[in-house]
Chains A and B, each alone.
Chain A
Amino acid sequence: MDKKDNNMENWKGIANRLREHEEPYKIGSWEKFEADFLDSADSGSPAPLLQDPKVKVVRRISWGIWSSGVAAAALLIFGLIWLWPDSVSQNIPQDLPQMVQSPGALPNQGESSLQGTPELEKNTILGLENELFESGIAKAMIQASTSDESDFSDSFEILPPLNQLGHELSLAGMQAIVIEPSLSLQHSNSNIKAPSVENARTSSAMAKEKNGLLSSVFGNLNEDLSVSSTIGGDKTINRDKWALGLAVASMMTSSEEVNVGGGVSVAYKLSDRMFLRSGISLARLGVSTPAPGRQGPSNYVGYAPASNGSATGPSGPQGPSGSFKESIASVSPEAVPGYYTRLLRGASSNLLTLDVPLDLKYFVTDKYFTSVGVSFLGILNESRTNHYIENINQPLFNGYSANGQDLQFAMKTLHVNEATAYQPLQGNSYAGYLNFSVGRQTRVSNKISLSIEPFFKLPVGKLMREEMNMTNGGIRIVTGF
């Protein structure tokens, strides 16, 4: 009992020491707080925080994160457009949304893009270039509706709600990531109640107060807070929901070469352990046809007579002739003097690929994760090399009739690699890979994390049926922000 009491007393001592402790003031903190939260654009007017406590405070986002997000979204959209250009034009809706226009806003109005539109109101449309208008993409993006009758003839305003804009974008075959640029502080989820103080905290009157007094001070804090934590709010975009990353990868393919690639990744937090991850990356892939034994597109290129077409064989029958000679040469070149064959053993390609993955990343523990997903693959460029084996009959010497010895031949085998203009894969796109990976993520600093992620990509569908073996795997290093 004494020991326990002693322990209790020591815990209280520790608690007292913690309560009485204060950190030193960090010079410059007030100036930073003033700049971030209090200063407004108009030097004369006070910031919203000072005007009305109930006004929501818009918190600045780190522009680095914002610009990174925009760049990642732009890369993703660009990649999708690059891979599926036809689908965009096919999905443009024929029926134009209801267009509203101020009189004389655009000089080229009245063309097909506006025909059939309902009555024009006195509202405005988003000002776009006419070529965008004609492409149809802008048509899908613009829909202005307003019930306001005021005259906007001299100005342009963006009117459509975001969800409607996103719908129009999707019709145009585009995918957009909409990132709310500003945060609004939201109601805290914590239930704050005045503690029932049972033990003496300090010598002040605070330690003696009960629920009644403190609840009168704090009781409505929970309900009336108009400024609360940005973190955890449902309607705000928390920067912790999104994670950006730069990735570099080294991979091995069927050609047994080491290839490298890199790109950006974006992850969205679905839950505390699960993330939806996407991104875009460029990589050089060296791929090859399967090993000999599998039928390739062609095993025999052909055969040709030796440049010295004169017969140097033994006296006697010249041997097979005509087509029979050729067919013998294709099977047994040594039987036909002066012929060589060329066998296509395989081909390899060096591909420049664009990979857009969509993965689910799950943290098994706080550091280790596993990921599974699919990739959409586009092949931007292909450099193909054919690999041949040439069997050349080389006569060692002439003179069978001179020295009475049999003419002998030696089979000389040459391995020849030859670049070809044949590029069957270039420009193709596939949906594409099954991705598997496991990894470990470590927080390097407050804002930066590093993950090492061995991965494996398995081609599926049309990609699997290609002659090239596109299976690859390697290790990826991602720096997260």
Chain B
Amino acid sequence: MKEVNNYPGREAALSLENAVKYCGLTDHTHQRKSMEVLYKKYYGYILAIILRYVRQQEDAEELVNESFVRVFANIGKFVGKGKGEEFENFFKAWLSKICVNASIDFLRAKKMSLSLDDIDVEDKEMPFAMASDELQVKDILALMNRLPELQRTIFNLYEVEGYNHEEIAEMLNIPHGTSRTYLMRAKKRLKALYMAHHDYIMLGR
């Protein structure tokens, strides 16, 4: 059983299963502590997911809280299976769904994703790790931030989250063909963006 111990010195560590269980209780004291444990443990995980969809750090931090509100409000409905790492994987998958949904709602409300062309992406020098053969995550995010919102979202949903084009089309309320087209454009553009700053092909090696 994976122990989640955020209280050094305390012998009885709060496991993830217990933390999830206690969050659904009406006992205020245990509930609050369990929420704190889950919040601090998965803050970085959720923020990393949201930053793939949302450019601005401030927006992303707000969306993290938005996602946690949804998580805690519906944690009583979460049904995890297995124990330890298996349970955590189920839980993280559930968290991932919630914050992806929150990000898409945010983008839809801002109407940013409807722009078909590049939007106010300014040409900036990107902090690439020039000496490294492999792209660091921050470099990948810097490349992805230069994509139009819709392309970036589709790329994330297809490549990272694992949705198929029909599901993506339904989530984003776009035609099926658009999802395929924009995924291709996103990949093409990522390559072009990278090659514009480097002399060697990133993905052909």
Contacts and interface: CB of A to CB of B under 8 A. Distances in A.
Interface of A: 3, 6-7, 10-12, 14-15, 17-19, 21-26, 29-30, 32-34, 36-38, 46, 49-51, 53-54, 57, 185, 188-193, 195-199, 201-202, 204-206, 213-214, 216-218, 220-221, 224-232, 238, 240, 272, 366-367, 442-443, 446-447
Interface string B19-34: 0000000101001100
Interface stretch (B8-16, B74-82, B124-132, B174-182): B74-82
A26 B44 CA distance: 8
A197 B97 CA distance: 14
Given A17-B140, A188-B101, A232-B108, A53 B162 contact: no
Contacts of B167: 193, 195-196
A365 to B, nearest CB: 9
A446 B78 contact: no
Contacts of B192: none
Given A46-B31, A191-B171, A199-B162, A217 B78 contact: yes
Nearest to B80: A217
A229 B205 contact: no
A225 B120 CA distance: 34
B53 to A, nearest CB: 11
Contacts of A33: 39, 65, 68
Interface of B: 26, 28, 31-32, 35-36, 39-40, 43-45, 47-48, 51-52, 56, 58-59, 61, 64-66, 68-70, 72-82, 85-86, 89-90, 92-94, 97-98, 101-102, 104-106, 108-111, 114-115, 119-120, 135, 137, 140-141, 156, 159-164, 167, 170-171, 187, 202-205
**Chain A interface, DSSP helix/strand/loop, else mixed:** loop
Contact of B111 (A17, A191, A214, A272): A272
Given A33-B39, A192-B101, A204-B85, A23 B47 contact: yes
A225 B70 contact: yes
A272 B110 CA distance: 8
Contacts of B119: 366
A18 B101 contact: no
B32 A38 contact: yes
A26 to B, nearest CB: 7
Given A29-B61, A192-B101, A366-B115, A50 B26 contact: yes
Contacts of A226: 73
Contacts of B68: 33, 37
Contacts of A443: 120
B56 A214 contact: no
A42 B109 CA distance: 34
24 contacts: A14-B135, A17-B135, A18-B141, A23-B44, A23-B47, A23-B51, A29-B39, A29-B43, A29-B64, A32-B65, A38-B35, A46-B26, A46-B28, A49-B69, A53-B75, A188-B105, A204-B89, A205-B82, A221-B77, A229-B102, A272-B114, A366-B120, A442-B120, A446-B56
A392 to B, nearest CB: 66
A25 B43 contact: yes
Contacts of B56: 446
Contacts of A17: 135, 137, 140
Contacts of B101: 188, 190, 192, 229
A323 B52 CA distance: 93
